[in-house]
Amino acid sequence: MHIFLFAALAATQAQTPPVIAAPNTQIIERETNLVPLPVQQQTALRCSVAMALAAERQRLGQAAEQGWPDLTTRGREFFVRSLAQLMDDTGMNRERLMLYSRVEAASLSETGALEAVMPGCLLLLDSSGL
C-alpha cells in the first residue's frame, strides 16, 4: 500500500524507505524500546503523520466529507519540515524516526483517531506559516 507518509519521509533522505506493513503498536514499542518524546516533539510527529495520512486519503478520494483543506502541498511541506526538525533536535536517524512514525501511523489508523486529531493539527499547520 502506497502511503504518502513514507514517500514524504523518503524525500527527507536520498534513500528509499523499506516496504512497511501496518504494524502492531505494542510490538513496535516492545521490540524497539521507543522512549516517549517530549510533548512538543510528540505533537509535531503526530501531526506530521496525520497530515500524510489525510493527504493520502484525499488522494484516494476518501476524505472529501471531512472538509479538510487540500493537504497535497502544505501538508507535505509541514511533514518534511517537521520530521527534519525532529531529526535535528533529537539526533535520530531516518530509520529510528521511521519507527516512531509507524507507531503514530498505526495509532492514527484506528477508527476515528485521524478525524479526532486533525482539527488541532490543522491549527498547527496554519500557525506554521506554510
Distances (CA, A) of 8 to 31, 103, 112: 25, 16, 23
pLDDT digits (tens, 9 = 90+) for 41-79: 999 999 999 999 999 888 888 877 778 898 988 888 888
Report domain extents, the chain: 4-9+24-127
Quick one: pLDDT at residue 108? 92
Quick one: pLDDT at residue 13? 37
Quick one: pLDDT at residue 42? 92
pTM, rounded to two decimals: 0.73
pLDDT band per the 50, 70, 90 thresholds, residue 32: low
pLDDT at 123 over 90: yes
Q: Could you tell me where the DSSP H helices lie in the chain? A: 4-11, 25-32, 39-59, 74-90, 94-108, 113-127
